[in-house]
A and B are shown apart, each in its own frame.
Chain A
Amino acid sequence: MGAEMALPPHDIMRLTIANDRERLFNDDSLWLCLTCETCSARCPNDVDPARVIDALRELAAGEGAEHAPRNIRAFHESFLEQIRSTGRLSEVGLIMQYKLRSGALLQDVAVAPAMLRRGKLPLRPQRIAGVGEVKALMAACERERGARAAPAAGGAAAPGAGATGGHHNGEDAR
């Protein structure tokens, strides 16, 4: 995906070293990364840009500075919502939710019958017995993230704490 990124991985690394949040977070390049890990595998200096990009996305989200393109954000949010509600991913449920969130209502409508004919779209989602456990696990991770974003010094452990708190903390975390 490097070819479609205004800031390819090496630029992202340079801007991260310079702590240029403005250019990093006001661009959709971070969200165009598919974590194919090609950059990390081929880096002659053993740097791991894929992991850095993941961390930057998390930081940006914590600062409310997320510039993910609507479709990509809609996809990720719908995906996690599916897991939260059934414990597994129903591909049909994912597509339906994605359409509602992204507004791409008509996308791929024409191929649905062909998918169904091939038995590839089970319409009934598989809800696991441990769905409550999965939900609790996801909530626990969210609490942890909130605690990381709001340091002990500030005291407020709520997720998405103020941008300044996140900013300060981000520097500690490089």
Chain B
Amino acid sequence: MTLAYYPGCSMHGTSREYEESLLAVAAALELGLTEIADWSCCGASSAHAADHLLGVALPARNLALAEAQGADEVLAPCAACYNRLSGAVHAVAEEPGMAAKVPEVLGRAFANSVRVLSIVELLQGLAPVIEERVAARLEPNPLEHLNIAAYWGCLLVRPAAITGFDDAERPTGMDDVISACSANPVSWNMAVECCGGAFSVSRTSSVLRLSRAIIEDARHCGADAILAACPLCHANLDFRQSAMSLRGEPPMPVLYITQLVGLALGLPMAALGFERHFVDTQPLFARLAREAEKAAAAAAERDAAKAARAAAKAGAS
């Protein structure tokens, strides 16, 4: 299996920490990602809103390049890119005339033979490996004390016929990854609601309204942080958070799924790009570390008391 990597435009800009943490995790798990040479933009929300064929052809160019590179699968970690790429695979396979039309407008051979992989599918598949690595770590594990809300948003999970996750309303893949990392998935209500997506710039007020509701529900349901797998969701929930009047509540950190896995694998914080966030994650990690130490101390005390009791019993008899 050859896995090609389609970064998409945000990974080289506003979501650099997503790519940094992804590459760090990929190296630690020896995934061997090969970036598609000379990839172009997938067109995101703007292409398909203007013209259906353009919304298929722009992502298809990248699939054709991946094919030419000999790849069987393409990883698209950005949820919007994933949606456009897998949507193009589906459109070319299902819509009459598309299989002939698309190579014609591309000016390239295109057999539609590549499978598009989301970050959740990839990491869910690796959950047993992640779990094993977490179990092999000796120091007290702060992640055991982390309650985190898996936020899917729209483009990763819909349309269900294309993305194929287990449940369109309550998908479980991200929770599996959280559990493999030894953290605790929170049960909440907004996992598949929209954050306002591409209106971040052109209609910011809508984004603030929609994203605030997501953050408030996560807090209400006991989350310490939100887990994201999309640069746009992350920008709206993290970068725009200071503009939401959140009634004096403490800020809600938003982590990329690859950052969480990186932490679980014991990678250094500095390799995971947390300093690029707008909401400071340090207070959360400091608190988790204190809780882990406290729990370790309590466990040690329990063990010592048990040993003392056992010794006393042995001495008495």
The answer on A and B forming one complex is yes
Write the nearest CB–CB distance from A119 to chain B, whole angstroms: 6
Instruction: Name the one of B52, B105, B160 contacting A140, with C-beta atoms under 8 angstroms.
Output: B105
Known: A41-B160, A54-B48, A79-B44. A140 touches B14 (CB 8 A): no
Task: Tell me which of A16-24, A87-95, A162-170 binds B.
Answer: A87-95
**Contact of B44 with A89 in the complex, beta carbons under 8 Å:** yes
Contact B203–A87 (Cβ < 8 Å):
no
Total A residues in contact with B, Cβ cutoff 8 Å: 61
Confirm or deny: B57 has a beta carbon within 8 angstroms of a beta carbon on chain A. Answer: yes
> Which B residues are CB-close (under 8 A) to A80?
43, 46-47, 50
Task: Give the docked Cα–Cα distance between A108 and B44 (Å).
Answer: 22
Q: Are B160 and A83 in contact (CB under 8 A)?
A: no
Taking a contact as CB atoms under 8 Å apart, the answer to whether B46 and A71 are in contact is no
Which residues from B are CB-within-8-Å of A55?
52
B201 touching A98 by the CB < 8 A rule? yes
- Most B CB within 10 A of own CB, among A87, A119, A137, A144: A137
Of B34-42, B124-132, B307-315, the one contacting chain A is B34-42
CB-based nearest B residue for A126? B12
Contact assessment for A37 and B51 in the assembled complex, using a CB-CB cutoff below 8 Å = no
Hey, what's the 0/1 contact readout for B96-128 against A, CB within 8 Å counting as 1?
A: 000001001111100000000000000000000
| A65 CB within 8 Å of chain B | no
Chain A's closest residue to B10 (CB) is A91
With A36-B194, A145-B51, A145-B53: A130-B40 Cβ-Cβ less than 8 Å: yes
A interface residues, Cβ below 8 angstroms from B: 1, 4, 32, 34-38, 40-41, 48, 50, 54-55, 57-58, 61, 69, 71-72, 74-76, 79-80, 82-83, 87-92, 94-95, 98, 102, 107-108, 111, 114-115, 118-122, 126, 128-130, 133-134, 136-138, 140-142, 144-145
Given contacts A88-B41, A118-B277, 18 further A-B contacts (CB under 8 A): A1-B196, A36-B154, A36-B194, A38-B193, A41-B160, A41-B169, A57-B50, A74-B202, A75-B46, A87-B40, A88-B40, A114-B278, A115-B14, A120-B15, A120-B16, A134-B61, A141-B105, A145-B53
